[in-house]
């Protein structure tokens, strides 16, 4: 049971906790989700999610329990961002019914041995009828629980709007800002009218270098924290 100790804990979700495990005498690193059997929706979660992820998530790759990007250089971050964009494009446009992930964030991005980014944790994902994709959701209310994670979830979800592919795109935008600024949307510096989006927008034209993660300019050395 040492593999499920607090030291190996990567994250806690609504249906269970995710742990880093090393298999085959250290040859393989995986992320394993330990389901909470007390949850009424655990059987649904079991069907929706893969329980073992090859090579783990970004947290495991960088050995940062906060899910940071400090040990990834600019090109690696850019390639991961492109990989995630391609994955979302496939889910939204190239399946029979569009799939909305509903919880896109750094800890739900998995990396393989080639540092290719993959979407993970589909426990909140929803299928969208084609006729209601993207544009028809803005004014619809919903009695379901709010989807997503604070800071990454689309604002309209907070007032009960139906999930949509545009909600995933919003979360992806926040993910991009976090990847290159090394600032979480829930950082204590944000509040009231200042958000991660506004923080970047204000500096974008003339002061962008002042908000970019400084480790990108120092070859991956540890810089400021979240």
Which residues belong to the active site?
103
SS (H, E, C) the chain: CHHHCHHHEEEECCCEEEEEEEECCCCEEEEEEEECCCCCCHHHHHHHCCCEEECCEHHHHHCCCCCCCCCCCHHHHHHHHHHHHHHHHHHHHCCCCCEECCCCCHHHEEECCCCCEEECCCCCCEECCHHHCCCCCCCCECCCCCCCCCCCCCHHHHHCECCCHHHHHHHHHHHHHHHHHCCCCCCCCCECCECHHHHHHHHCCCCHHHCCCHHHHCCCCCCCCC
Q: Per DSSP, what are the bridge partners of residue 110?
A: 57, 118
User: Residue 209 and residue 175: Cα distance in Å, rounded?
Assistant: 18
């Amino acid at each position: 049971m040492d593999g499920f100790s607090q030291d190996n804990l990567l994250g806690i979700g609504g249906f269970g906790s995710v742990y880093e495990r090393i298999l085959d005498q250290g040859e393989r690193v995986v992320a394993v989700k330990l389901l909470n059997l007390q949850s009424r929706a655990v059987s649904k979660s079991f069907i929706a999610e893969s329980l073992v992820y090859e090579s783990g998530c970004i947290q495991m790759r960088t050995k940062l329990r906060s899910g940071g990007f400090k040990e990834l250089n600019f090109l690696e971050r850019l390639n991961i961002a492109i990989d995630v964009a391609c994955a979302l494009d496939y889910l939204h446009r190239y399946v029979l019914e569009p799939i909305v992930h509903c919880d896109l964030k750094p800890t739900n991005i998995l990396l393989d041995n080639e540092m290719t980014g993959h979407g993970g944790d589909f426990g909140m994902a929803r299928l969208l009828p084609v006729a209601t994709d993207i544009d028809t959701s803005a004014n619809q209310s919903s009695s379901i629980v709010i989807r997503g994670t604070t800071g990454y979830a689309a604002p309209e979800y907070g007032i009960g709007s139906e999930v949509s592919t545009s909600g995933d795109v919003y979360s992806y935008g926040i993910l991009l800002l976090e990847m290159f600024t090394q600032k979480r949307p829930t950082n204590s510096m944000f509040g009231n009218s200042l958000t991660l989006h506004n923080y970047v927008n204000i500096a974008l034209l003339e002061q962008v270098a002042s908000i970019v993660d400084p480790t990108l300019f120092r070859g991956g050395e540890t810089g400021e924290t979240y």
